[in-house]
Amino acid sequence: METATLGAGCFWGVELTLQQLPGVVETAVGYAGGALDNPTYKDVCTDTTGHAEVVQVLFDPQQIRYEQVLDAFFSLHDPTQKNRQGPDWGTQYRSVIFYHSPEQQQAAQAMIERLTQERRFAKPIATQVVPAQTFWRAEEYHQKYLEKQGMRSCHL
């Protein structure tokens, strides 16, 4: 099994989509990239902790490649926006890939280069590619939130 940790704005919709990919074994939403231990949603929403809302994905590389997970990640949000997605703004909503190995780092950077060369997006990609840090699992009510609410999307 491998782990991917990705931030693409509000974690609810990102989790819902990523958990449906064939080969994804488990997902959890949480916070990464900040300075405060055991942050809460309320802490992260102050935009002072440095954390991003992320989805941690456990996947079977025999069934799905990391590059396929990244491709889904880039199709789920606007990676050209810095510190915002749609109506949500702040550093917690930044586009970020927390890599867990040199291979993941190389794959993420290669995908950004390829998408840039293909001009898939009208503006430069702002996605950060940084080493994985402590993943702090979000409160239980955030886990599989949209599924619990019987919703398929959180976008209007």
Residue of 49, 50, 48, 5 whose CA lies nearest to 29? 5
Q: 81: domain range?
A: 2-149
pTM (two decimals): 0.94
Lowest mean pLDDT among 21-25, 48-52, 87-91, 149-153: 149-153
Q: Is 45 a catalytic residue?
A: no
CA distances from 114 to 37, 67, 72, 104 (A): 36, 12, 15, 15
Is the predicted pLDDT of residue 150 greater than 90, yes or no? no
Q: What is the mean pLDDT of residues 95-103?
A: 98
Q: DSSP secondary-structure letter at 80? A: T
Cα distance between residue 10 and residue 138, in whole Å: 12
Express each pLDDT in 28-82 by its tens digit.
Answer: 999 999 999 999 999 999 999 999 999 999 999 999 999 999 999 999 999 999 9
- Do 14 and 57 meet the contact criterion of CB atoms below 8 Å apart? no
Q: What is the mean pLDDT of residues 18-31?
A: 97
Q: DSSP secondary-structure letter at 138? A: P
Query: How many domains does the chain contain in total?
Result: 1
Residue 154 lies in a domain: no
Q: Given pLDDT bands bounded at 50, 70 and 90, which one contains residue 156?
A: very low
- Sign of the alpha-carbon torsion through 114, 129, 55, 9: negative
CATH number at residue 43: 3.30.1060.10
Residue 156 lies in a domain: no
Q: Which of 4, 6, 8, 10 is catalytic?
A: 10
